[in-house]
Structure 1
């Protein structure tokens, strides 16, 4: 797996956007991501929709490679770690965390995180909260306008790129403005919102081969 990076200066901090849909914050040795939706594929299969069982494992494989690639003391998940209810795929995450017990995982609860906090903590997550603050940055699940500097998720942002041939394709993206960053969904099993736009922001579209800024 090749990790491509785009370094930005934001809120007077150096952040590294990766093409694996997570941000690395070197000064804090922190990885930031959103919307894993663990257990979503199993939830769909239980309701009669044939979804491949390998999807969640591929997401965990990417997360593992990021944790091994960077020096990580802390992982901040800005919501929707778990899609609905506990199932076998969610329990795989508990086993995953046991491999990285030295890393502090913090969950900011999202609208899909309906499992009791005590169960999430039992997985090995160190803290579950509605908001989290670190070095002047507020972490929440849904974007809000009240904070000075805020990182969130929830929207699953994406952009539509048109080719000269008039063909177009949709890509996940980071949304970056002066005081706000919205993360793409980490899970590959999510939709993309390409309709919402944010004033004075830059979309960093994610490709296998790199990251492309689209203003």
Structure 2
């Protein structure tokens, strides 16, 4: 895995967008991501849909490499950590957190995070919030009015890129406007919403080889 970066200055903060669908906030030594949807593949398999079991292992492997690469003190998950009920994939995350006891994991509660908060805390999450504010930035799962500049998830934003051959493909994207950042879904097992959801926003599309700026 190669980490490609795009530095931006937003709300007077230097943020590093990565092609691994997470933001590194150097000033706070914090990694920011959204929509892990742990347990989603297992949930589908339980309902007879054949989904590979390796998906969440790859997601957690990427998260591990990001934490080690940036040597973070904190990870803010902006909602939808757990897709449905607790299952084996969620317990794998509990084991994952045992390797990072020195890192504080915070969850901004998302619409899929429906299991009891005590069970989420038992995984090793340090705090659960409906919204969370840090140094003038406000973290909520679903985009909504908020005091300060807003960082959210939920939408799984993406962009459609058309080639000169008229072929096109879709890419996950960070959506960045003056007052809001919408994070791409960290999980590989999610759809993409390619509708323009924010006016006067810049899309930072994620590729294996880098980040493409689309205005």
**TM-score (ref. length: structure 2):** 0.99
- Aligned residue number for residue 212 of structure 1: 212
Q: Superposition RMSD on alpha carbons, in Å?
A: 0.7
User: Which moves more between the two structures, 98-107 or 192-201?
Assistant: 192-201
Q: Is the 8 A contact 2:138 2:146 kept in 1?
A: no
Per-residue Cα deviation, 1:59-101 (whole angstroms, up to 9, x for no partner): 0000000011002000000000000000001000000000001
- The answer to whether structure 1 residue 26 and structure 2 residue 26 are counterparts is yes
- Aligned residue number for residue 45 of structure 2: 45
- The answer to whether structure 1 residue 172 and structure 2 residue 172 are counterparts is yes
Structure 1 segments unaligned to the other structure (5+ residues): none
How many Å separate the matches in 1 of 2:196 and 2:202? 13
Per-residue Cα deviation, 1:17-53 (whole angstroms, up to 9, x for no partner): 0000000000000000000000000000000000000
1:195 is displaced (CA, Å) by 1.5
- Aligned residue number for residue 80 of structure 2: 80
1:200 is displaced (CA, Å) by 1.1
- Aligned residue number for residue 5 of structure 1: 5
1:146 is displaced (CA, Å) by 3.6
- Aligned residue number for residue 96 of structure 1: 96
1:164 is displaced (CA, Å) by 0.5
> Equivalent residues in 2 for 1:107-186 (5 A)?
107-186=107-186
How many Å separate the matches in 2 of 1:147 and 1:186? 25
Per-residue Cα deviation, 1:131-158 (whole angstroms, up to 9, x for no partner): 0000000000000134330100000000
How many Å separate the matches in 2 of 1:186 and 1:89? 15
How many Å separate the matches in 1 of 2:187 and 2:11? 27
- Aligned residue number for residue 58 of structure 2: 58
- 3-state DSSP of counterpart to 1:142: coil
Displacement over 4 Å in runs of 4+: none
